[in-house]
């Protein structure tokens, strides 16, 4: 049984205006590939109501830190009141979008140490008192990655991409 330790929850980036949703998705995937994260789309929900769309996409980005731990980022892309417009043969969206990010470390993801109680106890003892520096280093890396991802998303929305 894997143990999940959440590091940061509820980091949010919001934007109102014109954007291309496909480019936002590609930017997140490009950042994940550059930082050695594997992207997994957990959910996709789209509701249409009188010309406006509401969209929710949940992405999970996972990177192996060691044989015992994985770093994970969970992104929820939520867009409301989206209207599609055609500008210079491109379809762009106008509305509000928010991207919420949570970061976590998943320990014992292969269920090696939790099969027997004594082995689990020894691993927890080892993590708490002997190898706590490795856990702190993984937490620091995860915090750095979540900050870097949020800054990349903010830079993407502030950059004038649609004025070509």
* CA–CA distances in Å: residue 8 to residues 5, 22, 73, 100, 146: 10, 26, 10, 11, 8
Note down the domain range covering 65: 3-158
Which pLDDT does position 99 carry in this prediction? 93
| Residue pLDDT, tens place only, 68-123 | 778 899 999 999 888 888 888 888 889 899 999 999 988 776 566 667 777 777 77
Q: What CA–CA distance (Å, rounded) separates 33 from 73?
A: 13
The CATH number that applies at residue 138 is 3.40.198
Average pLDDT over residues 18-22: 88
| Residue pLDDT, tens place only, 73-88 | 999 999 988 888 888 8
132-141, long-range: CB < 8 A, 24+ apart: 134/66, 135/69, 135/105, 138/65, 138/66, 138/69, 138/71, 138/105, 139/7, 139/105, 141/65, 141/71
Which pLDDT does position 1 carry in this prediction? 59
The pTM assigned to this predicted structure is 0.82
> Residues 139-154, buried b or exposed e (16+ Cβ, 10 A)?
bebbeebbeebbebbe
> Is the pLDDT at 135 greater than 80, yes or no?
no
Q: How many domains does the chain have?
A: 1
164 within some domain = no
Which pLDDT does position 158 carry in this prediction? 83
163 within some domain = no
Top-ranked range on mean pLDDT: pick from 6-15, 61-70, 108-117? 6-15
Pair 53, 79: CB distance under 8 Å: yes
């Amino acid at each position: 049984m894997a143990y999940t330790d959440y590091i940061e929850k509820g980091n949010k980036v919001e934007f109102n205006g014109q954007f291309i949703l496909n480019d936002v998705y590609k930017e997140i995937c490009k950042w994940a590939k550059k930082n050695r994260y594997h992207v997994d789309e957990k959910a996709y929900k789209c509701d249409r109501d009188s010309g406006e769309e509401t969209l929710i996409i949940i992405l999970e980005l996972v990177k192996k830190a060691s044989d015992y731990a994985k770093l994970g980022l969970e992104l929820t892309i939520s867009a409301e009141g989206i209207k599609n417009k055609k500008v210079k043969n491109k379809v762009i969206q106008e509305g509000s979008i928010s991207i919420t990010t949570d970061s976590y470390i998943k320990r014992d993801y292969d269920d090696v140490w939790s099969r027997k109680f004594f082995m689990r106890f020894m691993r927890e003892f080892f993590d708490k008192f002997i190898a706590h520096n490795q856990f702190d280093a993984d937490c620091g890396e995860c915090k750095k990655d979540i900050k870097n991802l949020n800054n990349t998303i903010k830079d993407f929305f502030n950059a004038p991409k649609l004025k070509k």
